Homo-oligomer: A and B are copies of this chain.
Amino acid sequence: MSTHNVFVPPAGTRDQYPTEMAKVRYIQDGWRRAAIRHGFDEVGGPTIEHADVYAHSGAGISGDLFTVKSGQTSPDSAPAFVLRAEFTPTLARMYAARSATLVTPVKWFSEHQCFRAERPQRGRLREFMQWDCDIIGDDSVRADAEVIGVAVDALRSLGLTPEHVKVRISHRGAVESLLRARGVPNDRLTEWFYLLDRAGKISNDDFTTDAVRLGMPASAAVDLLRLMALSTPFEAPTTQVMLSEDASGRGPEYFKALFAELKAGGVGDWCVLNLGIVRGLSYYSGMVFEVHGVSGKERAIAGGGRYDHLIEQLGGPPTPAVGFGMGEAVLGHVLEEHGLYPTDRVIGERLGLRPDVVLIAQSEEIDPVAVGQLVAQLRRAGLHVRRPDVVGSSDAVLANVMPGAMQARFAVTVESSDGLGRASVVNLDTAERHPETLTFAEIAGYIRG
C-alpha cells in the first residue's frame, strides 16, 4: 500500500455522503427548474474531450488541464484527450456539427462535472459540478439579458437577493476603449486583458509595476485601477462619467439597451456595471459578466459572456453566441454564509426523498417473509418504504430509528401473524396520531389518499 491514505478522495475532489449529496442536488434542482422555465433544452457531452478542441478554442486554461490516456496509448505520444475544464468548447463543437439543421436561436443548458488541475483552494476544487446556459445564433442585446436573467432567477429561487449577490457586467469593447484612450496599442490588448483579469488577485503595486512594464505611466495605471474597481448601478453618476470616456459612444448605447432589458426582465436591481470584469478566457468577444457575493469572501459564483467567434474557430459557420457557467462549490459556500440552505428535512421534501412509510413488525414472532411481501406491494404501488431492522411498537421504534430529517409520513405496524393480512396505519403528520387497522390491500390506497 502506498504512503497516502487510501481512505481520502484525491485532493480537490469530494466524497459526497447523503446529507452533502442532497445539498448538491438541491442546487442542481434550482438550476434545472430555472433553465426549463426560461425555455432552455438540456444537452450533454463527453467528460473526456479532444485536446484539439481546447487548443482551437484558445480557452486560455491549457496549463490547468488534466490529460487523459488509455492504457493502449504508447506512453510518449501526445495526450489525445483532456478532462472537460468547461463546457463551452464542447457546446461550440456540438453546435458546429449540426449547424446545417439546427433552427436558431438554440437555447441549451447542461449540468456536468468540470476539472481543473490547479492547486485546490477554498471554492476552487479540482472537480466540481457546473451549470451552463447558452443562446446560440442570436446576436441581440435581449439574448445577453436573457442569459443574465436565467442565472439570476436560479439564484433567486435558492433564496438569494440583491443584498447577497451582484451581477457585475462589463464589455470587452468598452474596456478596449478605456485602454486605447490610455495609449494601449491593439497588439498589446491580449496582454492587457490578462493583466486586468489578474488585477483582483494581485496587489495594486504589482499591478502598477506590470502596467509600467507594458508601457503605461504609473499615474495612468493607478487611475485605470480606480476605474476598474468601480462597481455601480448603470444610472449612477460615476458610471456615466466612466462611460463618457468611450469616444465611440457604442459602449454607453449598448449598456443603456442592456440595462433596459434587464429591468424589463425584473433583474435590474441585481446588476451593476463594473469594467474590471474582463474574464480570463480569450474567446469572449463582447459583453462579459460575473456573479459575486457582496461580502467579497468567495470567488465568482458564475461567469460568462458573448463569444461570437468561437463556433467559427472550431470549424463551424460564423455564429453569435452568449452564455455562462455557474459552479456549485462557490454557490454552496455563499448559501452557507447567509444561512440560506433549508433544513435537511425541507431539502428532502423538495427532492422527493421523504419516506411515505416506515414499516415495522411488532414482534420477533411475525413472519419476516409476510412483512417483506407487504413492503414489496407498497413499493410496487409507488410508495417510498423504509423497513428498519428492528421490531417493536411504532412509537418506540420511531423515537429511535428514524432521524427527524427522514421522518416518514405514515407508520405501518404489522401486529400479528394471524394470516389475516392486517396492519395498523398511523398518519405521523397529524397531532392525534390515531391508528387505523387496514388490510394489506387497502394500505397503499389509504396512504396515497
Q: Could you tell me which A residues sit within 8 Å of B by CB distance?
A: 1-2, 4, 6-10, 13-18, 21-22, 24-25, 36-39, 41-50, 52-53, 56, 62-72, 79-81, 83, 90, 93-94, 96-98, 105, 108, 113, 115, 117, 126-127, 138, 142, 149, 153, 156, 260-261, 264-267, 314-316, 352-353, 355, 368-370, 372-373, 375-377, 379-380, 382-387, 389
Asked if B369 and A72 sit within 8 Å, CB to CB, the answer is no
- B386–A39 touching, CB < 8 Å: yes
Please state if A67 and B71 are interface contacts (CB–CB under 8 Å).
yes
Beta-carbon contact of B37 and A383 below 8 Å:
yes
Q: How far is the CA of A80 from the CA of B63 in the complex (A)?
A: 18
| A97 and B15 contact, Cβ closer than 8 Å, known pairs A1-B315, A36-B353, A46-B9 | yes
Interfacial chain B residues near A67, Cβ < 8 Å: 68-71
Additional A-B contacts beyond A6-B315, A142-B368 (12; CB < 8 A):
A6-B50, A9-B49, A13-B47, A15-B43, A37-B379, A68-B68, A70-B126, A113-B113, A142-B372, A153-B380, A261-B369, A265-B372
Question: Residue A48 contacts which of B21, B36, B38, B127 (CB distance < 8 angstroms)?
Answer: B127
A-B contact list, 22 entries, CB within 8 Å: A1-B56, A6-B50, A6-B52, A7-B97, A7-B315, A7-B316, A8-B97, A9-B93, A15-B43, A15-B44, A16-B44, A17-B98, A21-B44, A24-B44, A36-B353, A37-B382, A47-B127, A48-B83, A66-B81, A153-B379, A264-B373, A266-B377
Q: Cβ of B93 and Cβ of A46 under 8 Å apart?
A: no
Contact residues in B for A65 (Cβ distance below 8 Å): 71
Could you tell me the distance between the alpha carbons of A265 and B410 in the complex, rounded to whole angstroms?
A: 21
B72 touches A117 (CB 8 A): yes
* Residue of B6, B21, B49 touching A43 (CB-CB under 8 A): B21
Query: Looking at A96, A264, A353, which has the most chain B CB atoms within 10 Å of its CB?
Result: A264
Within 8 Å by CB of A36, from B72, B352, B389, lies B352
- Chain B residues with CB under 8 A of A53: 6
Q: Contact at B105–A389, with CB atoms within 8 Å? A: yes
A83 to B25, CA, bound (A): 23
Taken together as a complex, chains A and B put the C-alpha atoms of A4 and B45 apart, in Å, by: 18
Given A9-B46, A17-B43, A46-B10: A52 and B1 interface contact (C-beta under 8 Å): yes
Q: Which residues of B contact A72 (CB under 8 A)?
A: 117
Contacts of A353 in B (CB 8 A): 36, 41
Nearest B-chain residue to A384, judged by Cβ: B37
- The chain B residue sitting closest to A76, CB to CB, is B75
Interface centre among A39, A56, A266 (most CB of B within 10 A): A39
A48, B377: Cα distance in complex, Å? 40
6 tightest CB-CB pairs across the interface, nearest first? A70-B117, A13-B46, A16-B44, A18-B41, A7-B97, A264-B372
Interfacial chain B residues near A17, Cβ < 8 Å: 43, 94, 98
A96 to B44, CA, bound (A): 33
Q: Do A68 and B83 touch across chains, with their CB atoms under 8 A apart?
A: yes
- Given the complex of chains A and B, what is the CA–CA distance between A138 and B153 in angstroms? 45
Asked whether, in the complex, the Cβ of A43 is within 8 Å of the Cβ of B68, the reply is no
